[in-house]
Structure 1
């Protein structure tokens, strides 16, 4: 099941409920991704920003602020900030991973070049900090600056851990918290902060975003071994071909026989991949119940996200956020 498959799924309901705010966010994004002197910047940015992405992270910021009763203008700035940070990291990731497809389309580094992707990503990071400052909140700046650093740290950790069979679930969780959950939790937390919500509500929003982001990434890792290309926006098995130790593989390696470990060392650590190896990897994961165990972990994180919402005001948006947590993991049910 994809986020596009049916009308009025939780994401669609969030979009409909926050349509006015999102229109303002999109207008601000278009305004701030412009460049008077470097037309390559809006060209590259528009290719990714306008590629039909779900805008999930900015929606989380808007929802958190509105849920906490915010009536000012700066949730729009923060939502645009979050989307710029996300877009910048995608541009950089595609260069690092040498990706050729993103959201079902050719990547910016393929259409232009690596230099353009890196530099435009840098530009968007700079724009995001300008938007943060305009809110006048040092706490918001602190949260989003820390998230940006954590994202970069997670990506560097993944470089060293991704092809090392000694990588365990603890290291995997650090990587996921960096590359995915840090921006989810910052997106929800700053919504509460800008609304001047009580501290217990701000903490609840952080916990919700953190747990949702972890569940989201685990599901993405699972879909790489069992999702349709049109669903996941990339080719099935890309993580395997890129020798990434994602959660299903880590679980299979932990239970592997010596013969199976030799296979994993060859295909992941040494990168010696041959025809039929992807199918063999999937068979080993099935033998050890790795996919089912990873799915159970995702369900557990989704449940933690839903539980955190109990501290927040009773509001239609709270129910939508709860349904969103269920929907994220329903993609692999």
Structure 2
């Protein structure tokens, strides 16, 4: 089932529950993405921020703060911070990947140019640090600044690992923890920190975000080979065309015969792709059962996320977050 065709949508339940705070986050985002001297900044930012994304990461911060009984206003600052970091990384990623489509729309680098995308991304990173500082919490600053560094580190690691057939599942997991899970876990962890709950609860929130982020990215990589373009906003096989070694292919390479390995060397390492190669790649993934094995990995990580959140006291938000962990994997057809 696709994300928008299931009977239950936990992210919508969360959005309804947090609607007041989400409205405050959106207001703060619009205020802080403004620029008196460079009107292109809000133009580029608005194109991505207002493109219909589900605000999942900022919702995680608001939800975990609510779950922990936080009654202040800085959860809104932190949620906006998380969204700015996420948006900045998307702007930079689309330049690095030379992408032409994001959430079913032309990318900012296509509509404007690479320079604008990179510089506006830098501006959003700077804005995110201003928001962090305003909370007055050094621990929050430490968590989110480390997350920003880890994201960049993961992206750089992916540059060297993505087209190297020696990349194994351990390296893949390291990349995913960097480029995706780091922001998920930071988003959930700071919700507990700002509420000043005990360390065991903060650790449970971190573990939930970490596992949820890993499951989310595994599913995203799987959808590249079996997703619905109208639902994902991506073309099937984009990762293959961009020569990215994601988990389904890593598993297929590990099981490959000599002839099959030569195919992956030609298409991924050397970039010599020909008509029919995507179809052959899909045949090999099905032949070795790597799509099903990848789905099982996603289910295992979503289970870890669910187990982590269920260690916290009963609360309606806890149940929504538990459902969300299951729902992440329901995006798979």
Matches of 1:269 and 1:103, distance apart in 2: 28
* TM-score, length basis structure 1: 0.99
Q: Look up the match of 2:31.
A: 31
5+ long unaligned stretches in structure 2 = none
Please show how residues 73-112 of structure 1 align to structure 2 within 5 Å.
Answer: 73-112=73-112
Matches of 2:53 and 2:37, distance apart in 1: 27
Q: Look up the match of 2:137.
A: 137
After superposition, give the CA deviation of every residue in 1:73-125 in whole Å (9 maximum; x if it has no partner). Answer: 00000000000000000000000000000000000000000000000000000
Matches of 1:60 and 1:302, distance apart in 2: 15
Maintained 8 Å contact 1:68/1:313: no
Q: Look up the match of 1:221.
A: 221
Maintained 8 Å contact 2:3/2:330: no
Maintained 8 Å contact 1:68/1:195: yes
Matches of 1:22 and 1:3, distance apart in 2: 21
Q: Look up the match of 1:301.
A: 301
Q: Look up the match of 1:174.
A: 174
After superposition, give the CA deviation of every residue in 1:200-257 in whole Å (9 maximum; x if it has no partner). Answer: 0000000000000000000000000001111111111100000000000000000000
After superposition, give the CA deviation of every residue in 1:280-332 in whole Å (9 maximum; x if it has no partner). Answer: 00110111110111100000000000000122121000000000010001122
Measured on the aligned residues, the alpha-carbon RMSD in Å equals 0.9
Q: Look up the match of 2:119.
A: 119
Matches of 1:57 and 1:3, distance apart in 2: 16
Q: Look up the match of 1:42.
A: 42
5+ long unaligned stretches in structure 1 = none
Q: Secondary structure at the match of 2:245?
A: coil
Matches of 2:197 and 2:137, distance apart in 1: 14
Maintained 8 Å contact 2:2/2:228: no
Maintained 8 Å contact 1:222/1:332: yes
Maintained 8 Å contact 2:24/2:76: yes
Q: How many residues align?
A: 333
* TM-score, length basis structure 2: 0.99
